């Protein structure tokens, strides 16, 4: 990294130069209103999940997990920045305008991502579902006719592949470790499973983005086909019962999102004219 960064006479490196230039897609094109809305769906999912994961740093069960969860959160922030940057161009808003100055009903994330961290098993269950979903989503989105979305997906898919592997390893360990860990893994999975279905709901927006967006209902089979063998190996049953009504894509959220946004936005909103 440092080889390519220019230093001034004082050896000072401006953080803008190490800003995630590699992670930000050069978005020459401006998304249409509908594409921007779709980018918001995906960007909000990643940012809300990253915000939740960021809590774990300095609290994880092992140092290696502080690093791993931090790394996953960092990847997700990178994806969110690219997507929000793209989503905002249409309305002349920056990634930070979108992240810090929208209220709860304007957020488009699905309910899965805003579910609380819970214990480590809950976080792993959420990661297991999220990473499988994101992997199949980005794999399909690489074929998008929208070049920017396709490029973001091509980069993100490699990273969420690692997130997927990380979650699989932990599902196996926890399910087949000790009695306590198995009990907790079962609880975590059954608490998070109700939020799977919302990920595959086709909203009217999708009808207007044929070839650009990935139709959520088409992902259900592949996501489940990837997850179920892992659950079988872990000797975990697919939870049944309550299914969340969802609504995140339309701005209907659970009670979890408000406090999460309040914390994330508090400093930025206290200084509306400030740059950071």
Partner 1 sequence: MTIPPVPYAIAPESTDTVSAEEQQFNDLIAADSRIEPRDWMPEGYRKTLIRQISQHAHSEIIGMQPEGNWITRAPSLKRKAILLAKVQDEAGHGLYLYSAAQTLGISRDLMTEQLIAGKARYSSIFNYPSPTWADMGSIGWLVDGAAICNQVPLCRASYGPYGRAMVRICKEESFHQRQGFEILLELMNGTPAQREMAQESVNRWYWPALQMFGPPDDDSPNSAQSMAWNIKRFSNDELRQRFVGMLVPQAEVLGVTLPDPDLRWNEEKGVYDMGEIDWTEFHEVLAGRGPANARRLQRRRDAHNEGQWVREAAAAYAAKQAVKAVA
Contact 119, 184 (CB under 8 A): yes
- Find where tokens 């050896």 sit: 11
CB nearer to partner 1: pick between 57 and 238: 57
Binder among 31, 89, 99, 112 for partner 1 (CB under 8 A): 99
Q: List helix spans (H) across the chain.
A: 15-18, 33-54, 63-89, 95-100, 111-114, 120-141, 147-175, 179-192, 204-207, 220-233, 257-270
Does residue 232 belong to the site contacting partner 1 (CB under 8 A)? no
Does residue 15 belong to the site contacting partner 1 (CB under 8 A)? yes
CB of 245 to partner 1, least distance (A): 28
CB of 180 to partner 1, least distance (A): 5
Query: For the CA atoms of 145, 45, 106, 117, what is the dihedral angle to 10 degrees?
Result: 180
Binder among 21, 29, 33, 61 for partner 1 (CB under 8 A): 61
Q: What is the DSSP letter of 239?
A: P
Question: What is the number of other CB atoms lying within 10 angstroms of the CB of residue 150?
Answer: 16
Which of 23, 21, 34 lies closest to 145, judged by CA?
34
Binding region for partner 1 (CB under 8 A) out of 150-158, 195-203, 240-248, 268-276: 268-276
Spatial separation of the C-alpha atoms in residues 147 and 132, rounded to whole Å: 23
CB of 179 to partner 1, least distance (A): 9
Spatial separation of the C-alpha atoms in residues 62 and 226, rounded to whole Å: 27
Binder among 202, 207, 233, 263 for partner 1 (CB under 8 A): 263
Spatial separation of the C-alpha atoms in residues 114 and 184, rounded to whole Å: 20
CB nearer to partner 1: pick between 41 and 120: 120
CB of 112 to partner 1, least distance (A): 19
Does residue 63 belong to the site contacting partner 1 (CB under 8 A)? yes
Binding region for partner 1 (CB under 8 A) out of 34-42, 110-118, 213-221, 259-267: 259-267
Provide the b/e sequence for 186-211 (b: ≥16 CB within 10 Å).
Answer: bbbbbbbbbbbbbbbeebebbeebee
Binding region for partner 1 (CB under 8 A) out of 101-109, 158-166, 239-247, 265-273: 265-273
Spatial separation of the C-alpha atoms in residues 227 and 195, rounded to whole Å: 15
Residues 161-190 touching partner 1, rule: CB under 8 A, are 172-174, 176-178, 180-181, 184
Residues that bind partner 1 (CB under 8 A): 2, 10, 12-15, 18-20, 47, 51, 54-55, 57-67, 70-71, 73-74, 77-78, 80-81, 84, 95-96, 99-100, 119-120, 172-174, 176-178, 180-181, 184, 263-264, 266-268, 271, 273-276
């Amino acid at each position: 990294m440092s080889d390519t960064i220019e230093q001034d006479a004082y050896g000072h490196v401006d953080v803008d130069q190490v800003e995630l230039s590699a992670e930000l897609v050069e978005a020459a094109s401006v998304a249409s209103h509908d594409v921007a809305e779709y980018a918001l769906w995906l960007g909000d999912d990643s940012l809300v999940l990253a915000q939740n994961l960021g809590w774990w740093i300095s609290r994880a069960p092992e140092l290696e997990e502080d690093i791993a969860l931090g790394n996953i959160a960092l990847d997700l922030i990178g994806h969110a920045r690219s997507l929000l940057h793209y989503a905002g161009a249409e309305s002349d808003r920056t990634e930070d305008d979108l992240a810090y100055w929208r209220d709860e009903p304007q957020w488009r994330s699905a309910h899965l991502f805003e579910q609380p961290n819970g214990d480590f098993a809950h976080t792993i269950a959420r990661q297991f579902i999220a990473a499988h979903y994101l992997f199949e989503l980005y794999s399909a989105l690489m074929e998008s006719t929208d070049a920017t979305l396709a490029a973001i997906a091509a980069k993100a898919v490699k990273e969420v592949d690692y997130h997927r592997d990380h979650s699989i390893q932990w599902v196996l360990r926890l399910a087949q470790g000790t009695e306590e860990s198995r009990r907790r893994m079962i609880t975590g999975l059954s608490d998070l499973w109700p939020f799977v279905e919302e990920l595959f709901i086709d909203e009217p927006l999708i009808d207007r983005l044929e070839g650009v967006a990935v139709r959520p209902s088409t992902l259900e089979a592949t996501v489940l086909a990837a997850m179920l063998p892992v659950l079988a190996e872990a000797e975990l049953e697919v939870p049944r019962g309550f299914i969340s009504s969802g609504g995140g894509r339309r701005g209907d959220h659970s009670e979890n999102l408000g406090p999460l946004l309040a914390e994330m936005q508090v400093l930025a909103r206290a200084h509306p004219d400030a740059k950071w």
